[in-house]
Amino acid sequence: MNLLEDLSLLLILSFHCLLGTATAKLQFVTCGSVIKLMQTDYKVRLHSHDVKYGTGSGQQSVTGTEIQEDVNSHWLIKAPTGKVCLRGDLVKCGSIIRLEHLETKKNLHSHLFSSPLSGNQEISCYGDDKGDGDSGDHWTVICSGDSWRRDDSVMLKHVDTDVYLGVSGSSFGRPIEGQMEVVGVRSSSNSVHWQAVEGVYIHAPDTKHMHAVHTEL
């Protein structure tokens, strides 16, 4: 094998190595990505809209919807208040994040109010139109391994009150008829497991390039 052939083989091997590394990274959830979250037991997607709770806090309601294409199920992954996570950085297991509802710019939130249907802890969206809220917007990502894989189920534990983001199994009537109640619960039951599904996943394989991976929204 001559020098030119050696160089060609080296380039091919290097390309495949880089491609394999990039593909592996695409399997993870990253900061700055906009995703949908599906509850793995009830198969509903985490959802919100500009509809306020009629009881409890009166804040923006959070529900679960079976409609895959609903634009109100998009959530932006952000760092906790006052912190920074770089776009494309892997979300580490055990790290704290915020989830900003893309349409209304409010953050996934919880606090010591009772949920309207089941009497569990209320989950709402809170904050201003700049995505600013308070410590009630902070969630710990509980997963296996080092980082949040898109094909794994995870739990989101509320930092202030220690409840898990879950689904009660109860459904609302009008004006959000058929949508399921999303709640905070104390036990890590099947109803608190979520998986990242459709979305726009930001990927940074190195410091010089940025890539966005789109899946069906």
Which domain CATH number covers 189? 2.80.10.50
In this prediction, residue 109 carries a pLDDT of 97
pLDDT tens digits, residue range 142-198? 999 999 999 999 999 999 999 999 999 999 988 788 899 999 999 988 799 999 999
Radius of gyration from C-alpha coordinates of the chain: 20
Does residue 15 lie within any of the structural domains?
Answer: no
Peptide bond into 175 cis (omega under 30): yes
Domain membership of residue 158 (yes or no) is yes
pLDDT (average), residues 73-88: 95
Q: What is the pLDDT of residue 141?
A: 98
Establish if 17 belongs to a structural domain.
no
Cα–Cα distance measured from residue 208 to residue 80, given in angstroms and rounded to the nearest whole number: 26
Answer yes or no: is 204 within a domain. Answer: yes
Q: Is residue 18 part of a domain?
A: no
pLDDT of res. 206: 44
Residue 149 within a domain: yes
Containing domain of residue 106, as a range?
Answer: 29-214
Is residue 141 in a domain?
yes
**pLDDT tens string 10-47:** 344 343 333 344 445 579 999 999 999 999 999 999 99
Checking if the pLDDT of 1 tops 60, the result is: no
Q: What is the mean pLDDT of the chain?
A: 86
Pair type for strands 164-171 and 180-185? antiparallel
Structural domain count, the chain? 1
Q: Report d(CA 100, CA 113) in Å as an integer.
A: 20
User: In angstroms, what CA-CA distances link 123 with 23, 37, 98, 110, 207?
Assistant: 35, 15, 14, 5, 37
- Checking if the pLDDT of 5 tops 80, the result is no
Q: For residue 10, tell me if it sits in a domain.
A: no
Report residue 59's pLDDT band, with 50, 70 and 90 as the boundaries: very high
pLDDT attached to residue 130: 75
Average pLDDT over residues 68-85: 95
> Which of the 8 DSSP states describes residue 162?
-
DSSP for 84-134, please give it.
Answer: ---TT-B-BTT-EEEEEETTT--EEEEEEEE-TTT-SEEEEEES-TTS---
As a dihedral over the C-alpha atoms of residue 145, residue 148, residue 154, residue 160, rounded to 10 degrees, the angle is 100
What percentage of the chain exceeds 70 in pLDDT?
A: 82
Q: Is the pLDDT higher at 211 or at 17?
A: 211
State yes or no: pLDDT of 212 exceeds 90: no
